[in-house]
Structure 1
Amino acid sequence: MDEQAKRTPSDSVAEVVSAADVDWDIDTDVLVAGGGGTGLVAALAASENTDIRVTVLEKAPHCGGNTSLSTGMIPAAGTHLQRDAGIEETPADMARDILEKNGYQADEDRVRYLCEESANLIHWLVDDWDITLHLVDDFKYPKHSEYRMHAPDGRNGENLVAELVERIETTPNIELLTNAPVTKLVAEDGAVRGVVAGLTRDEAIEAKKVILGTDGFAGNREMVTEYCEEDIERALYFGSDGNTGDGVRFGAELGGELACMDAYQGHATVASQTGMLSTYAVTMNGGILVNEDGERFGDESSGYSEFAIDVLKQPGGQAVQLFDERIFQKLQGEFDDFDEAVEHGTYHSADSVEALADRLGSDGERAAETVAAYNEAAAAGEPDEVGRVDGSHPLEAPFYGTKVTGSLFHTQGGLVVDEHARVLRTDGSVVANLYAGGGTACGISGHGAGGYLSGNGLTTALGYGRLAGIHARESLE
């Protein structure tokens, strides 16, 4: 496992073996590599033909991957949950927000298709599989023009994963195995025929279709160094341990095209003291960030992914997140992440900004002046000193805060896929019988950190997972 975590596509280590050199131990119809959002959704979609056998192999002791570490919020346009809330929007509106955020650097056809399928994804999860989702209509993440986030209970990805796993375990034609890493693909004449898997001993599994849901490569420092910008190399890694680029390398060895390999999602507010996520809802409800000099250093509403780099560029790679009682009370009971951070003593409070900032290692006098300037702009409804325009509530005592650092959550580049999530070669041909989704596939965030729009990760994880499962199922009927 340690060796896989250090390999890159440019290494000479073989990730694919010939079917002629393999003696099959067992067989299945659809083999899903990875038990995160992509794999779990793909398995459910494939299983809807009850004559098809589906096998899910997860290399960790538990399912979930990055989906379990996320808020579990799935963006979608045109759902009945939106209509019930009086919201009318089209997939084109969602696609526009995604493309404007990444400067139209992502594949526009893939973006628009995933947006068109987003309502079908939500309706399928809620209506067909009884997955608990509700519309988030009390705040918007940066650059979302409408309320379109569909969240599980607690706005916690662990709850979403738990329900998906429960559905998997009660579906007779799905077998789910943990501690079962896929270590190689097996191919014949360029077409995938199965996998080699196993933690302590290799087992060759013949499969008619293989779906790669092994996520990206943010946990592989060698690949991050090779593809991503220098500043993010030293960031705290906050993703799943299993994200070592396995699926990306498997597909690449079969000629799969790689794209946007420099893209990633960072996060600007991981608490330095407790190592816990301080949800960006704190910031989007009116919180701000200051450096050790008590000064703001950018527009926090630009996006938590790119703002991670701004935090890392501050002295010591640290900043202080400041907010107030109104925000504290609003988020309690709404976000499991926030409640857990509170429980673990992540936040400090004081009756003055100066006292709080001094306690957190920032210049208290200057921080008080910074908050006063922010409040003045918010009260006047005018842009503040960094150009932020969404502030509508001045910050008032008592104040809360924590020291934060920038982190790397997951990568957004990977294998190029078509509308069915089939892996494509550089000449546009399909790698037969091979699918990819989530972090294993090229995402919809363009390049770097700035193109990430909140929810892009689950859009490609669950969106491509469902599309892969449907196509694999239908091609075997």
Structure 2
Amino acid sequence: MSEQGAAGDEYDVIVVGSGGGLIGAYTAASHGLRTLVIEKTPYVGGTTSYSGAGIWLPGNAAEQRAGVEDSPEAARPYLDAIIGDDAPVALREAFLQAGPRMIDELEQNPLFQWFEWKGVPDYFEGRPGSLAQGRTVFPPDFPRAELGSLEPLLRRPLWTERWGVHPGLQLIGGQALIGRALLAYMETGNGSLRVNTALQSLLVEDGRVAGVVALQDGEQVTFRARRGVILAAGGYERNGELRRSFQPAVGDEWTQGCEGNTGDALTAGIAVGAATDLLEEAWYAPGLVVPDTRPVFYTSVWSGIWVNGEGERFMNERLPYDRAGHEMLRLGQLSTHWVFDQRQLDNERAFATLPVAPEVPGWFDVEKFVEAGVLKRADTLEELAELIGVPAAALIKSVDQFNGYARAGKDEQFGRGEAPWDLMVTHLAGAHTDGPNPVLGVIDKGPFYAATIVLSDLGTKGGLRTDEHARVLRTDGSTITGLYASGNTMAPMSGRIYAGAGVPVGSSMAFSYIAALDLAEQG
């Protein structure tokens, strides 16, 4: 087992990026292919290591163990209905067929035993094939010490990077998934890893991709690949220039993506003739503005309402996060006011049990937030309106109207509290009201507060076009021999939508796996 590959070495497969691409690297190495993973940053894991590691793969073994009646065939009409023509049918069919097979193969290795189903509803309720109980599975926690000498290579949790808290003795969520994958990959005996190694360009010989040119610790190195290269280096969310080019309304300052995700693999693919699609898209999510760091990924409100600059409510604040982000973008509400009352703060669970809450004790420090100016506080709604610069009469009207809905138990304006996702979120947070619908608590207990919600994202999602084998395509539809893509480097099989919790991680894993199998079958 080696953590280093010698400069200039030749491999069967080279994987660029160490998030979901590690599953492809493990698959290639476990099938006997000499494999190299190069990672731009000092740490393995990318944005996947920040995630909760939800994995959306219809019909997998973990669902079956939990008694969930599901299959690729059951999920097909759901994806067909919500994706439509935004992505090729062949891609989602490949994804559906590969998911259960991948989980079965992974679970043959004790390091991947056993994935666990947890009830997270699909994000588009009422569509054909949608499951209210959800399809998302998760890796079990993993003792950090099990990584041994590999442990320093693992990217720290997001909250450790941002707040400096201890990373913990147990790897959870994305940390557990990456830790398990890294160890499994290295234990194959066919895997090498080079960190601090940034892709510069693809090596093309006789019309095929034959390797990569990279910069390692300031020195240019070339690695050759006998069979092919898998580009799995995330999106371009941390590249301000590319975002201004493809997503002019959205900058890079509010993203949750890993700092290494600057689109190097995307631009390298384009340079050798790759076609692209959906570059204007991202995995959007509301972000709560906090002091001294990037916004916190905030799946939805527990109580209160969002109002625009006119003091008017404009959407269902509990939409699944990507749907909420797209609605904010559609309406041009890239920054909005979250107005709530003291009830929100009295419910300790409402902040402590966010689905992706910071693992930081007391992270929502009211006095610190007020002092920093990211949270406004006032004894009356009139005073709060003045602090946030909206018309007082409009804000009072919006709150009064919502309070009427809360007391009646039905949001007549936007239908908040009717979908399985809404109810799941409420269950996690705990009801903050004894009203007929806990999702619609009244806003009447001063003092009143206003925080800022901005349009954040978990990464960009447009990328290189591929076929159902994850082979990168040219603009004329032909394949670029030896080049594959997955994850956020690849134009997504899910098109413009986010079907359910774990689609980004699940599809990244699945297409990395598909690519590795295609490479292994070349013989």
Cα distance in 2 between the residues matched to 1:116 and 1:301:
32
Identity %: 25
**Deviation of 1:54 (Å):** 0.9
Letter in 1 for 2:471: R
Cα 1:278/1:452, change in 2 over 3 Å: farther
Partners of 1:142 and 1:301 within 8 A in 2: no
Cα distance in 2 between the residues matched to 1:436 and 1:179:
21
Pair 1:77-2:58 in alignment: yes
Cα distance in 1 between the residues matched to 2:508 and 2:90:
17
1:267-302 CA-to-partner distances (Å, cap 9, x unmatched) read 21233435466454444x677534466542212344
Indicate the residue corresponding to 1:89 in structure 2: 70
Equivalent in 45, 70, 92 of residue 64 of structure 1 = 45
Q: Which runs of 5+ in 2 are unaligned?
A: 1-6, 142-170, 371-376, 423-436
**Deviation of 1:60 (Å):** 0.5
Indicate the residue corresponding to 1:395 in structure 2: 441
Indicate the residue corresponding to 2:518 in structure 1: 471
Cα 1:406/1:333, change in 2 over 3 Å: closer
Q: Which runs of 5+ in 1 are unaligned?
A: 1-23
Indicate the residue corresponding to 2:131 in structure 1: 145
Equivalent in 223, 227, 230 of residue 246 of structure 2 = 227
Equivalence map 1:202-213=2 (5 Å)? 202-208=220-226, 209-213=228-232
**Deviation of 1:58 (Å):** 0.3
Partners of 2:237 and 2:257 within 8 A in 1: yes
Cα 1:419/1:27, change in 2 over 3 Å: same
Indicate the residue corresponding to 1:120 in structure 2: 101
Cα 1:158/1:401, change in 2 over 3 Å: farther
When normalised by structure 2's length, the TM-score is 0.73
**Deviation of 1:56 (Å):** 0.6
Indicate the residue corresponding to 1:11 in structure 2: none
Cα distance in 2 between the residues matched to 1:63 and 1:375:
48
Cα 1:281/1:264, change in 2 over 3 Å: closer
Cα 1:338/1:292, change in 2 over 3 Å: farther
Pair 1:254-2:272 in alignment: yes
Indicate the residue corresponding to 2:165 in structure 1: none
Cα distance in 2 between the residues matched to 1:402 and 1:123:
45
**Deviation of 1:332 (Å):** 4.2
Cα 1:356/1:126, change in 2 over 3 Å: farther
Letter in 2 for 1:190: G
Indicate the residue corresponding to 1:428 in structure 2: 477
Cα 1:34/1:293, change in 2 over 3 Å: same
Partners of 1:232 and 1:408 within 8 A in 2: no
When normalised by structure 1's length, the TM-score is 0.80
Cα distance in 1 between the residues matched to 2:353 and 2:326:
30
Give the match's secondary structure for 1:181.
Answer: strand
Equivalent in 45, 64, 72 of residue 27 of structure 2 = 45
Equivalent in 216, 221, 233 of residue 214 of structure 1 = 233
Cα distance in 2 between the residues matched to 1:57 and 1:231:
32
Provide the alpha-carbon RMSD of the alignment: 3.6
Partners of 2:233 and 2:488 within 8 A in 1: yes
Partners of 2:58 and 2:96 within 8 A in 1: yes
Cα distance in 2 between the residues matched to 1:29 and 1:356:
67
Indicate the residue corresponding to 2:91 in structure 1: 110
Cα distance in 1 between the residues matched to 2:186 and 2:305:
44
Partners of 1:65 and 1:242 within 8 A in 2: yes
1:9-53 CA-to-partner distances (Å, cap 9, x unmatched) read xxxxxxxxxxxxxxx82211111111111x211111101123x21
Cα distance in 2 between the residues matched to 1:207 and 1:72:
30
1:374-421 CA-to-partner distances (Å, cap 9, x unmatched) read 465466553432233335424379899843221233222111112221
Cα distance in 2 between the residues matched to 1:142 and 1:238:
23
Equivalence map 1:68-467=2 (5 Å)? 68-128=49-109, 130-131=111-112, 133-137=115-119, 141=123, 143=125, 145-146=131-132, 147-152=134-139, 153=141, 156-199=173-216, 200-208=218-226, 209-228=228-247, 230-233=248-251, 236-273=254-291, 275=293, 278-283=296-301, 288-291=305-308, 295-308=312-325, 311=328, 317-320=335-338, 322=340, 324=344, 329=349, 332=352, 335=355, 337-340=356-359, 343-345=362-364, 355=379, 370=398, 373-374=401-402, 376-377=404-405, 380=408, 382-388=410-416, 389-390=418-419, 392-393=437-438, 394-395=440-441, 402-447=451-496, 454-467=501-514
Pair 1:25-2:25 in alignment: no
**Deviation of 1:368 (Å):** 7.5
Give the match's secondary structure for 2:219.
Answer: coil
58-67 or 120-129, which deviates more: 120-129
**Deviation of 1:439 (Å):** 1.2
Cα distance in 1 between the residues matched to 2:268 and 2:253:
27
**Deviation of 1:242 (Å):** 1.8
Letter in 1 for 2:410: E
Partners of 1:97 and 1:145 within 8 A in 2: no
**Deviation of 1:456 (Å):** 3.1
Give the match's secondary structure for 1:47.
Answer: helix
1:322-346 CA-to-partner distances (Å, cap 9, x unmatched) read 58479753774684x3142553236
259-268 or 431-440, which deviates more: 259-268
Cα distance in 2 between the residues matched to 1:115 and 1:127:
20
Partners of 1:47 and 1:473 within 8 A in 2: no
141-150 or 74-83, which deviates more: 141-150
Equivalence map 1:7-26=2 (5 Å)? 25-26=8-9
450-459 or 362-371, which deviates more: 362-371
Indicate the residue corresponding to 2:152 in structure 1: none
393-402 or 149-158, which deviates more: 393-402
Partners of 1:296 and 1:370 within 8 A in 2: yes
Cα 1:369/1:72, change in 2 over 3 Å: farther
Indicate the residue corresponding to 1:8 in structure 2: none
**Deviation of 1:180 (Å):** 1.1
**Deviation of 1:264 (Å):** 1.5
Cα 1:174/1:88, change in 2 over 3 Å: same
Cα distance in 2 between the residues matched to 1:303 and 1:234:
22
Cα 1:428/1:299, change in 2 over 3 Å: same
